Chains A and B, each alone.
Chain A
């Protein structure tokens, strides 16, 4: 019974998963006869004859992931904002990554360039392909992009197994860091800029971090990633806590018009520091735990 039953159960449980994996592999990547083919997030086909050996990574999140899957030594160019891990800072800086300088990219002789999937970068990717350099455009806006992009980068660099284990560890850590839904969740204003007051809407990475840490975004009804709000709307919604970053607003708490907000009067601030809060990265579970710890210390 044992010998017959187990493999059957395993097969029954595993078969749909296997099908999905095969399907996913067919859809996104295929690796045959030494050729690597990946469909990037812009829908373009990225082809490499062999795993990439010189990569320019123009997104802080992908630079971090490349180092995370052991492909750090092949990164030959990065953005000014790629500050993690510390070893990434030794890679030549090619600018802010928002308007990539094609000459600087070509001069670093890459065989693969990772670009953010923006309209502006469509032209850059096309130009690079004309010059014979593979370019992949990826979205790195949500927590779900961490494992998806890790797999993609794993395939492109030949570090599939490291990418798989990074993804497994990340998923487990994320699940254990996430606070189960409870009754008393603080309402948190995510204040990222003060003149004018700007907040973060529900379609953003910070919103995901906050919800997993057990807080509710005061402006979860804002669909856009960010937007200008009035102090009046903030006051009427009565936030329990106000989230700010070290680079963000600092002086609003002393301005007279903000004193209408009770959380400002009572100085219920939740200040965080560090790049784990501004990009989806393998460090996100730690960011969630940090938020949880700070919120449980708050007096809301």
Chain B
């Protein structure tokens, strides 16, 4: 990728972060945002430092992680429809969250932790179902197991929601639709420490992914341990997605469309695709979160709705222009 493109991307990232910091339920001008960031006593400082800064950075990291997961899965399964939630993960997380609310599990972290456990259980089940003939992970079986486990967890979740008499269990779907309202420095810290290992592993295996995208046979001949890479990619994307669900609910569409959009615009190899997707996905989610905070002030729209409402028309336009 040319230096000009890298510079343009960096500029876009910085502008998105600036917009994210200055827009919100309360409009704070950029000059005050700057003062508020560095001087704790300044007007609006508490909002900028303690609420918006962690929220914007978390949205960026989650958007980037979902983008990378989508790109890696699309290459690994060789299916353009692959996305982080395809493999039963979202329904597993939803089931965990709904059970936590229905059983009135106490504590501030009960719902996110339960969502994480639910997601990881679904992942483990899908993984076990997909291991055919020893330790080979078959992409087709993986896809089908994901759909099957997802449907089962989804049905269980609906059953719990219908049968539970816990107050607020119907509000569970609002949590599942996603939002960064609960972002804090602590949540951001947990997410970043946790996410850096899978992200690094995925980026390190970008070249293998490029080769696997050509087909198992050629990749094997070119020296890629296809089965090992596939297992690794699966585990990394699952861990990343489960963490993002736990911190902000299910935010669809970013992982599906950002990789495609980046491929259409930049046509890069995975080595530069993954970092580019990370940056673009991050920017996209930061901007979507800005819309979710400002569109119906003082109320908030779930960000999962916004990503689809903005992303779908944009992507449709892009698709038509490339095909034309």
Residues of A within 8 A of B (CB): 80, 96, 193, 195-198, 219, 221-222, 224, 227-233, 235-237, 247-248, 250-252, 254-257, 259-260
Contacts and interface: CB of A to CB of B under 8 A. Distances in A.
Given A222-B299, A254-B108, A193 B186 contact: no
Nearest to B52: A232
10 contacts: A196-B181, A196-B300, A197-B181, A198-B171, A232-B24, A232-B26, A236-B44, A248-B168, A252-B108, A255-B182
A247 B182 contact: no
A193 B171 contact: yes
Contacts of A260: 46-47, 50-51
Nearest to B26: A236
Interface in B160-213: 165, 167-168, 171, 174-175, 179, 181-187
Contacts of B111: 195
- B interface: dominant SS: loop
Contact of A231 (B51, B165, B301, B302): B51
Given A96-B165, A248-B168, A254-B108, A232 B47 contact: yes
B135 interface: no
Interface in B17-74: 24-26, 44, 46-47, 50-52, 54
Interface of B: 24-26, 44, 46-47, 50-52, 54, 106-108, 110-111, 165, 167-168, 171, 174-175, 179, 181-187, 293, 297-302
Given A250-B106, A254-B108, A233 B168 contact: no
A160 to B, nearest CB: 36
Contacts, number: 94
Nearest to B48: A232
Contacts of B25: 229-230, 232-233, 236
Contacts of A248: 167-168
Given A193-B168, A256-B184, A257-B182, A228 B108 contact: no
Given A235-B46, A257-B50, 19 more contacts: A96-B165, A219-B298, A224-B299, A228-B179, A228-B301, A229-B25, A229-B298, A229-B299, A229-B300, A230-B51, A231-B51, A232-B24, A232-B25, A232-B47, A236-B25, A236-B44, A236-B47, A247-B168, A248-B168
Contacts of B50: 257, 259-260
